[in-house]
Amino acid sequence: MNNKTELVLMLAGLCSLSGAHVIAQTATGQETAASSKSGQVASDQDIELLRKDIRSQKKQLIAANLNLTATEATKFWPIYDQYQAEYTKIGDTKLALIKEYAQNLDTVTDEQALDYLKRSEEISESVVQLRKRYVPLVNQVLPGTKTATFFQLERRIEMLVDVEVASLLPPLQSQGQ
């Protein structure tokens, strides 16, 4: 199996693992995120375990497709871990917004809708700024093609997860009709 086939299969697996179970439950048992296709409700602990699994698979995917030398790997992985820690904090903010959106889906006001949009755009901009900060750091330890490949993989994984999550959350307008 070539790297391209492995990448497609791994990304497909990653995508299927992501958003489909991104459901939270409050202490009272009330759903706070969109229902999964199977109708299951996951706890915050379940979501955190899923996120850790996705991060692990993401790291394996990057390792399998970056073809790092031993010297490059020694220098790259600490930077990656630092990057991932910052990316996870942004992900925490994004997850909180998704939960809030889903919890209020049936009662969202115009002001809340615009606030969700604004906050979503701010989160997206935070990810862009994070990448911009890390491109030169990664490029100090990897050649340009490997730096670009790393950020291509990062972006593709993020897009797949975003598409899966978006497929589970209905648009606001459809809720008020």
Q: What is the pLDDT of residues 154-176, one digit of tens each?
A: 999 889 888 888 887 788 775 55
Is the separation of the CB atoms in 57 and 14 below 8 Å?
yes
- The residues spanned by each domain of the chain are 3-175
SS3 track for 3-66: HHHHHHHHHHHHHHHCHHHCCCECCCCCECCCCCCCCCCCCHHHHHHHHHHHHHHHHHHHHHHH
Residue-wise pLDDT for 90-121, tens only, equals: 999 998 998 888 888 888 999 999 999 999 99
Q: Pick 105 or 63 by higher pLDDT.
A: 63
Residue 143: pLDDT above 90? yes
Which pTM does this prediction carry? 0.72
CA distance 163 to 5: 21
Is the separation of the CB atoms in 86 and 130 below 8 Å?
yes
